[in-house]
Structure 1
Amino acid sequence: MAQRLQSISAVTVSGALVIVLLLTLTFGTLGAVAFRADSLSGLSTRDWAAVRFTVVQAFLSALLSVILAIPVARALARRQFWGRSVLVTLLGAPFILPVIVAVLGLLSVFGRNGLLSQALGFAGLEPVSIYGAHGVVLAHVFFNLPLATRLILQGWLAIPAERFRLAASLGFGARDILRHLEWPMLLAVVPGAFMVIFLICTTSFAVALALGGGPKATTIELAIYQAFRFDFNLSKAALLALAQFGLCAIAAVISLWVSIPAGQGAGLDRVVARRDGSRILDFTVLLLVTLFLITPLGVIAVKGLGSVLSLPASTYGAAGRSVCVALASALLTIALTLPLALLAQRVSKLIEGVGYLSIAASPLVIGTGLFILVYRWADPVVLALPITILVNAAMSLPFALRAIAPALAEVERDYGRLSDSLGLTGMARMRLVILPRLRRPLGFGAGLAAALSMGDLGVIALFADPDSATLPLAMYRLMTAYRMDDAHGAALLLLSLSLLLFWVFDRGGRVNADI
């Protein structure tokens, strides 16, 4: 009994500490920002233009991503072909892809000196420019089209195969199937996917930093960065941070509210061969989206190979700092996620909701609040890397929690009573029962956190000086200095390290994890 109470006490204390930390990082930094902020009259016309542009570009990005994803998801749902699983896996790659790498790849294809402009030049036409609002939207579609496809594809696969068998026996054509089966599913799934992508696009800093700017293409986060980094106007940065948090909070609440189940009923989990619709049209759609996703990365690989070995020594130093930050962030993410998931499992599922608070908080908002809290007592530049590690872990925690919490609930459901009857508590229970069966989600969560941290260009842009820059920041500085050969080499190095870290953690979680 004493061991059981000791175990519960340890879980409660560690989980409570995580909750306090998360509340401090979200509402605590928000409170510091609110205390520093003036009235809304402190926002200029240009600042309100940034608020409007943030909403407009997020709306357009989400709308285009969802509209384009529907035919892609439909083609994947009704066609079985060699390489289909590889293509579905490819659709998940942009989520862990460093944003600044993808931006450089898009510049190499759609920029004034990119492949598209070169092709137009041969035809005697003017080159295109990717900078501005259309470039921001294009980049967001590149990142979120795969996510929208995966979300909508899950809705399509949730329709029982027996419904399609019945439709075929009734002689339904593609239009009839769309009306009676697919349209009700889309009405349930698409609004939630739209709001999730809208939320992601409102907090996309690196895309706006690299492709936006100017009065007509400045987001709230870019305005925060400019007010903070160039003007050192903490009051304006705080006001903008409040506006950003409010916008994200509204989007997060709406995204939860519109996530309505489709109600298609249960089936026998069978796969049915579908023959409705145009096969040529489906494969054309899949070919176009594959080229859209692969071409920018292919250009990065080709151009980066020639310069990756001749990069400046400072770039390799930045790469080393990025790896250290990513490893520390991954370990901290797991150290925060596991106690929170254990406490939620043993006390209340409502506790799990605390882990998702950081979704509504922008990294720049948290970074601004932390700067306000510490700059009077410590040098923020010295704390740049530790703060980056902490914020990256907090931003990765919701994704790791989503992977770990369901697996932990299954372990407790299958082995909890047996462990209690054997007196397994505390570290013995953790070592013998829980951790061996959580290796897969733990490895995946750590790999995801490492990859996301490796490519982050958020908080570090606020705090870092040239001596503490990470690889994404060093790469961005190479781009702004028009050292494009070195930038492509740094992009290839960053992409390789991000994928390697994800693979190492994810693969490590699968070794001997067949129990």
Structure 2
Amino acid sequence: MTAAADRAWRIGLGLGAAGTLVGFLAGAFVVLLLATGAAPDFRAVAGDRYLLGVVLFTLEQAVLSTLLSVVGAIPLALALHRARFPGRRAVLRLFLLPQVLPVLVGALAILTIWGRNGLLSDALAAIGLARLDIYGLSGILIAHVFFNLPLAARLMLAGLDRVPAESWKLAGQLSLSPMATFRLVEWPALRGALPAAASLIFMLCVTSFTLVLVLGGGPGATTLEVAIYQSLRYDFDPGRAITLSLVQIGLTAIVLWLATRLGGDAAAGFGLGGRALRYDRRSPVRAFLDALVLLFGIGFVLAPFVAVVVRGLEADLARLLADPAVHRAAITSIVIATAAALLAMAVSLAIVLAIEALRNAPGDRLTPRRVVLGNGLETTASLVLVVPPIVVGAGWFLSLRQVTDVFAAAPYVVVATNAAMAVPFIVRIVGPALAAANQATGRLADSLGLAGLSRLLVVDWPVLRAPVALGFAFALAISLGDLGAIALFGSQDLVTLPYLLLQRMGSYRTADAAGLALLLGILCLSLMALAERGLARRDHPA
């Protein structure tokens, strides 16, 4: 196979994967409309004060959550980049955990720390002060910052790691002050990462479902995603659900477009932190402030994990481990998560390889068509974040009901929906690694005539092994902790661990809920560790 044929195959497979993804997502809307005879009615939304309030609250909580996460991440990323201490790599891995922790477990952890019966409320009550009440906007903001501040910090840290070593050497040679170093070296790197971080976090907060469902506290704190769920689950009003979905997609598409215009990379990635050597002048005051920022950041992220462990150990774990319902839910969760992760990885790799084939064609001029196709593939992967999984699942569920047993079809709908929702994260993890590798070895591989499977195994796979492992682990964790699709289709025959956990919370079995949260967290992190270790290990020579 020639290099040109190899690029053509990669581009074709990537476009096919992206087309399938778009067809799966857009087809759900079409099927839902055709199957129910409903139609979007934007005038009804504009004339409904409650729905207008839902739209405004969705924007309010998303904007505030994004601001708090991004503003808090700036000093945290700077402190992580400047500091070199034993355990730094462990801290960076700690900052990965909120993204892979099941959202429902994270919500319970937030309640354990910040809730009315949480540790902080107990401390306040002990000194005669009122207990905290975090249901509503305050609880949503705390939870979103917990999940997204580490993500923003890692994205900004990746931007700092990309600063050339010569810039740090020059800062040291000129003996720049800490403020001058920040203004001339650090801030430009952070500014380049801000649009991507802000747009990603905004999309995640706009589409937040589980956190708002648990911490919202009533009609006054309802987001579009929850309103869509209510429209389908309780009212079965597909027209209103699709209208709200289109409003949500429109709002987030505008934000994504603005971020792109500001210079953000829609597919900006993050890794495990570089080893950049800094030669700028050290400052004792700055070192002290960095230490305080790190202590606060680590404590804010670590405390909920500790709370999950402590409260979980107080439950009757032996009884839960012997419960047949827990066994069935765990097996169901593992099977669905593994299938969804494999499917998501196949689609994501096809898209990533196609993007690089379009943008790195030695000897060919980078034509406007190639630029448009590459940007289109990136945008396709990013816009998946804004499509409500409940609507996607509902559309295909109704479609499959016409040709097969509706309950038998539910697991396949959940797997496909979870896989689609994991694609943006895998693309963000794998894409930058492949781009860097192509810049370093792409010309050499082309000059040697490597193409097809040989190039994939010899050139691409050694570079992709670790990012693929991390991406696969992320997809596992996302699907394992999902409560979006399963909340709509869960039944006695289809129960996952998050769905069982929600049932126990709804029946006020808080001890069981705490124990299940611990078991789900351990299962999620164990599968992640096995997947990452198994795929990322290097081959031993024969």
Q: TM (normalized to structure 1)?
A: 0.88
How far does residue 208 in structure 1 lie from its aligned partner after superposition? 0.6
Letter in 1 for 2:278: V
CA distance in 2 between counterparts of 1:431 and 1:150 reads: 29
Report the CA distance shift for 1:16/1:313 in structure 2 as closer, same or farther (over 3 A): same
CA distance in 1 between counterparts of 2:468 and 2:114 reads: 38
Residue 293 in structure 1 maps to residue 301 in structure 2: yes
Out of 33, 36, 41, the position equivalent to 1:39 is 41
Q: Which residue is 1:326 aligned to?
A: 337
How far does residue 161 in structure 1 lie from its aligned partner after superposition? 5.6
RMSD: 3.1
Out of 177, 187, 205, the position equivalent to 2:209 is 205
Letter in 1 for 2:247: A
Report the CA distance shift for 1:397/1:419 in structure 2 as closer, same or farther (over 3 A): farther
Residue 505 in structure 1 maps to residue 531 in structure 2: yes
CA distance in 1 between counterparts of 2:122 and 2:215 reads: 20
Residue 50 in structure 1 maps to residue 87 in structure 2: no
Out of 480, 499, 524, the position equivalent to 1:473 is 499
Q: Which residue is 1:65 aligned to?
A: 69
Q: Which residue is 2:366 aligned to?
A: none
Q: Contact conserved, 1:111 with 1:117, CA < 8 A, in 2?
A: yes
Give the stretch that moved more between structures: 201-210 or 18-27.
18-27
How far does residue 437 in structure 1 lie from its aligned partner after superposition? 5.4
How far does residue 16 in structure 1 lie from its aligned partner after superposition? 4.9
Give the stretch that moved more between structures: 77-86 or 375-384.
375-384
Out of 237, 241, 263, the position equivalent to 1:237 is 241
CA distance in 2 between counterparts of 1:431 and 1:334 reads: 17
CA distance in 1 between counterparts of 2:255 and 2:349 reads: 27
Q: Contact conserved, 1:437 with 1:513, CA < 8 A, in 2?
A: no
CA distance in 1 between counterparts of 2:171 and 2:460 reads: 45
Residue 467 of structure 1: SS of its match in structure 2?
Answer: coil
How far does residue 226 in structure 1 lie from its aligned partner after superposition? 0.9
Q: Which residue is 1:265 aligned to?
A: none
1:15-49 alpha-carbon deviations (Å, 9 max, x no partner): 45423311212333344457733321232221111
Report the CA distance shift for 1:392/1:72 in structure 2 as closer, same or farther (over 3 A): same
Q: Which residue is 1:136 aligned to?
A: 140
Q: Which residue is 2:490 aligned to?
A: 464
Give the stretch that moved more between structures: 246-255 or 226-235.
246-255
CA distance in 2 between counterparts of 1:156 and 1:431 reads: 31
1:150-192 alpha-carbon deviations (Å, 9 max, x no partner): 1222334444565556556666544444444444444443343
Q: TM (normalized to structure 2)?
A: 0.84
1:272-315 alpha-carbon deviations (Å, 9 max, x no partner): 26423433322122111111111111111122124333224212
| Identity fraction in percent | 37
Letter in 2 for 1:151: L
Residue 309 in structure 1 maps to residue 318 in structure 2: yes
1:240-299 alpha-carbon deviations (Å, 9 max, x no partner): 1111111222222223222359xxxxxx96432642343332212211111111111111
Q: Which residue is 2:22 aligned to?
A: 23
Q: Contact conserved, 2:104 with 2:211, CA < 8 A, in 1?
A: yes
Q: Which residue is 2:288 aligned to?
A: 280
Query: Gaps spanning 5+ residues in structure 2: where?
Result: 266-274, 359-369
Residue 135 of structure 2: SS of its match in structure 1?
Answer: coil
Give the stretch that moved more between structures: 181-190 or 308-317.
181-190
Q: Contact conserved, 1:79 with 1:274, CA < 8 A, in 2?
A: no
CA distance in 1 between counterparts of 2:184 and 2:102 reads: 40
CA distance in 1 between counterparts of 2:14 and 2:428 reads: 16
Residue 392 in structure 1 maps to residue 396 in structure 2: no
How far does residue 11 in structure 1 lie from its aligned partner after superposition? 5.6
Letter in 1 for 2:334: V
How far does residue 211 in structure 1 lie from its aligned partner after superposition? 0.6
1:336-360 alpha-carbon deviations (Å, 9 max, x no partner): 2333344444455725434444134
Report the CA distance shift for 1:160/1:381 in structure 2 as closer, same or farther (over 3 A): same
CA distance in 1 between counterparts of 2:393 and 2:254 reads: 21
1:423-468 alpha-carbon deviations (Å, 9 max, x no partner): x75x666566655654333322221211111111111111121320
Q: Contact conserved, 1:120 with 1:126, CA < 8 A, in 2?
A: yes
Q: Contact conserved, 1:245 with 1:365, CA < 8 A, in 2?
A: no
Residue 272 of structure 1: SS of its match in structure 2?
Answer: coil
Q: Contact conserved, 2:31 with 2:395, CA < 8 A, in 1?
A: yes
CA distance in 1 between counterparts of 2:166 and 2:352 reads: 37
Out of 467, 471, 480, the position equivalent to 1:445 is 471
Report the CA distance shift for 1:437/1:375 in structure 2 as closer, same or farther (over 3 A): same
Alignment of 1:238-253 (within 5 A): 238-253=242-257
How far does residue 413 in structure 1 lie from its aligned partner after superposition? 1.9
How far does residue 227 in structure 1 lie from its aligned partner after superposition? 1.1
Residue 359 of structure 1: SS of its match in structure 2?
Answer: helix
Q: Which residue is 1:147 aligned to?
A: 151
CA distance in 1 between counterparts of 2:14 and 2:193 reads: 33
Letter in 2 for 1:413: G
Q: Which residue is 1:76 aligned to?
A: 80
How far does residue 414 in structure 1 lie from its aligned partner after superposition? 6.2
Report the CA distance shift for 1:211/1:471 in structure 2 as closer, same or farther (over 3 A): same
CA distance in 1 between counterparts of 2:383 and 2:86 reads: 41
Residue 231 of structure 1: SS of its match in structure 2?
Answer: coil
CA distance in 1 between counterparts of 2:475 and 2:459 reads: 24
Report the CA distance shift for 1:336/1:159 in structure 2 as closer, same or farther (over 3 A): closer
Letter in 1 for 2:199: M
What count of residue pairs does the alignment treat as equivalent?
Answer: 505
CA distance in 2 between counterparts of 1:362 and 1:323 reads: 23
Q: Contact conserved, 1:455 with 1:472, CA < 8 A, in 2?
A: yes
Letter in 1 for 2:256: A
Query: Gaps spanning 5+ residues in structure 1: where?
Result: 262-267
Q: Contact conserved, 2:110 with 2:304, CA < 8 A, in 1?
A: yes
Residue 484 in structure 1 maps to residue 483 in structure 2: no
CA distance in 1 between counterparts of 2:32 and 2:224 reads: 15
How far does residue 400 in structure 1 lie from its aligned partner after superposition? 2.1
Give the stretch that moved more between structures: 310-319 or 9-18.
9-18
Q: Which residue is 2:272 aligned to?
A: none
Report the CA distance shift for 1:369/1:288 in structure 2 as closer, same or farther (over 3 A): same
CA distance in 1 between counterparts of 2:166 and 2:354 reads: 41
Report the CA distance shift for 1:18/1:171 in structure 2 as closer, same or farther (over 3 A): closer
Residue 468 of structure 1: SS of its match in structure 2?
Answer: coil
Q: Contact conserved, 1:34 with 1:242, CA < 8 A, in 2?
A: no
Residue 87 in structure 1 maps to residue 91 in structure 2: yes
Residue 401 in structure 1 maps to residue 427 in structure 2: yes
Residue 220 of structure 2: SS of its match in structure 1?
Answer: coil
Letter in 2 for 1:280: F
Q: Contact conserved, 1:252 with 1:360, CA < 8 A, in 2?
A: no
Residue 113 of structure 2: SS of its match in structure 1?
Answer: helix
Q: Contact conserved, 2:400 with 2:409, CA < 8 A, in 1?
A: no
CA distance in 2 between counterparts of 1:162 and 1:7 reads: 37
How far does residue 377 in structure 1 lie from its aligned partner after superposition? 4.7
CA distance in 1 between counterparts of 2:465 and 2:521 reads: 25
CA distance in 2 between counterparts of 1:279 and 1:104 reads: 35
Letter in 1 for 2:310: V
1:471-501 alpha-carbon deviations (Å, 9 max, x no partner): 1111122122221111111111111111111
